[in-house]
Amino acid sequence: MSDNKIVVTAEAGKQELFVTREFDAPRELVFRAHTDPELYAQWVGPHGMSTTIDKWDFRDGGEYQFTNERDGMKFTFFGCNHEVHSPDRIIGTFEWDGMPERGHVIMGKTTFDELPNGRCRMTHQSVFFSVADRDGMVQSGMEGGMRDGYDKLDTILEQQLGRSAGA
């Protein structure tokens, strides 16, 4: 397992948050893990949850939807891609169908920067309609779920690179 840590920055009173995480893999692989449905389903979400890809059209203007499930509880997320530019960035929307009403859309931009020694830095910026929406996401435990997911992704990337875990 990697020593890379997730950093979530959410300034008080702002409608945005930033997530930064480095990976011990080339950005092309990290980008692919975010856009390939088979890979994405293996790592997204907290430990103990399974993921089903319901719809996956990862191109400019394409839509996606996936469902996380654990102990009979289902959480469905969906959105549309405004720009998918390999291997640099993904810009699009994200929404959870469990909100009391529709319209709590998050606009997101994820960039993948090449670092020395075949490494990558991923930076994700989410912009929410309100500070309350942003604070609700932060308080939901999203950081722990993201940490779990990126730890799973580290293992997948190590396997793809032919490394043993912890090497």
C-alpha 29/C-alpha 109 separation (Å) is 18
Judge contact between 53 and 41, C-beta under 8 A.
Answer: yes
pLDDT recorded at residue 164: 60
Say what the pTM is.
0.92
Residues 42, 141: Cα–Cα separation, whole Å: 20
Would you place residue 89 in the very low, low, confident or very high pLDDT band (cuts 50, 70, 90)? very high
Q: Could you say which DSSP state residue 9 is in?
A: E
> What is the predicted pLDDT for the residue at 165?
53
Per-residue pLDDT for 49 more than 90? Answer: yes
Domains of the chain: 7-160 (3.30.530.20)
Give pLDDT, residue 140. Answer: 86
Give the confidence band of 27 by pLDDT, cuts at 50, 70, 90: very high
